[in-house]
Amino acid sequence: SQKIEQNSEALNIQEGKTATLTCNYTNYSPAYLQWYRQDPGRGPVFLLLIRENEKEKRKERLKVTFDTTLKQSLFHITASQPADSATYLCALDGDNAGNMLTFGGGTRLMVKP
Amino acid sequence: DVKVTQSSRYLVKRTGEKVFLECVQDMDHENMFWYRQDPGLGLRLIYFSYDVKMKEKGDIPEGYSVSREKKERFSLILESASTNQTSMYLCASSTPSSTDTQYFGPGTRLTVL
């Protein structure tokens, strides 16, 4: 079955720097990959989607890349702010029929002022 | 904006009790999902429904059942709650599309004593 790996260790960075989070997957070739943000005690919120035929996607300070050869997506937040502190989850379309997503375990980002 | 609501933010129940978790979405989405989220284990799919009265088992359906009598409402039932069902429960909805972006509720933190 497909496996998704995100760094389980928290990422600590200084305000103003670029945060880069990694999502690796195995045993599957997804048609697209999504990134969500989750604040403590809240449900995840959709941020960005990138399709398999897209190399890069941007939205304001966010940038996502998708390398189907490396089976990896990178999620960048430029000019990071303390308000960006949250857990970020990647999700892939399921390897079964239907409309299910498979989520990674998430990486916690801490941006220090 | 899509709104997904869950009946309770916090719930405390005793072992053996029957527990109902309710989820309502207001965007006429066909698909609805129930997940549980535990530290180190990420989001795990319990059940999925793609239409009224239709359901599919997810990765961890044991000890749970679901009900979808109306399109906007999806209920998760713990027939006999056990302490290992203490968790954060998240409901989500989506519309069938090529991207399957999911919209989550705020979550219910269930504690079983």
Closest by Cβ to B106, choosing from A42, A93, A100: A42
Q: How far is the C-alpha of A96 from the C-alpha of A27, rounded, in Å?
A: 13
| DSSP assigned state of B9 | S
Taking CB atoms and an 8 Å limit, are A106 and B42 in contact across chains? Answer: yes
Contact list, A88 vs chain B (CB under 8 Å): none
Across the interface, which of A31, A42, A100 has its CB nearest the CB of B45?
A100
DSSP at A16:
T
Give per-residue pLDDT as tens, A101-112. Answer: 889 999 999 999
Could you read off the pLDDT tens digit of each residue along chain B, which spans 113 residues?
669 999 999 999 999 999 999 999 998 999 999 999 998 888 999 999 999 999 999 989 999 999 999 999 999 999 999 999 999 999 999 987 767 789 999 999 999 99
Residue B31 · residue B93 · CB < 8 Å: yes
Question: Partners of B109 in the beta sheet?
Answer: B10, B88
Q: Are A44 and A37 in contact (CB under 8 A)?
A: yes
Pairing of strands A107-112, A11-14: parallel
